[in-house]
Amino acid sequence: MSKTDFDTEREFNDAKFSARTVFETDRMKVVCGYFEPGQFIPVHAPGSDVAIHVRSGTGVVRDGDDEHAVEPGDVVTVPADVDRGVRASEDERLEALLVTGPPPTDAEHDPVREGLKRGVFDPSA
């Protein structure tokens, strides 16, 4: 068993969101995500399901063509192969737990890298 908490893992980055992997197997990946205001995980559609629990702050989660406002305590799920992304509100930090199963491949994260490089939430737009 591994044990940690958001305070221990907390790491913000001025340049992009911070993803602190706290557990990973070939079946599941658990990440504490830390977002400065306006930071995001760009929209992508990996072959994995994701569950997102918002610990603090507000933002939006993309689910296909829809964007859902999220706040502390919300749990959002997006099935595999559906566009998804997370963006913090412009006026406050966001902290969230993200659980994916199975973990996305490196190639499935190409749109994430492209969106971060270009500074756009939806690299396909």
pLDDT the model gives residue 1: 73
pLDDT the model gives residue 124: 84
Q: Residue 60 pLDDT more than 80?
A: yes
pLDDT the model gives residue 36: 98
User: pLDDT tens digit string along 16-54?
Assistant: 999 999 999 999 999 999 999 999 999 999 999 999 999
What residue segments make up the domains of the chain, in order of their start? Answer: 16-118
pLDDT the model gives residue 64: 95
Range with lowest mean pLDDT among 37-51, 66-80, 104-118 = 104-118
pLDDT the model gives residue 125: 78
Q: What is the DSSP string of the chain?
A: -----HHHH----SSS-EEEEEEE-SS-EEEEEEE-TT-EEEEE--SSEEEEEEEES-EEEEETTEEEEE-TT-EEEE-TTS-EEEEE-TTS-EEEEEEEESPPPTGGGHHHHHHHHHT-S-TT-
16-118 maps to CATH 2.60.120.10: yes
What is this structure's pTM? 0.93
Per-chain mean pLDDT for the chain = 96
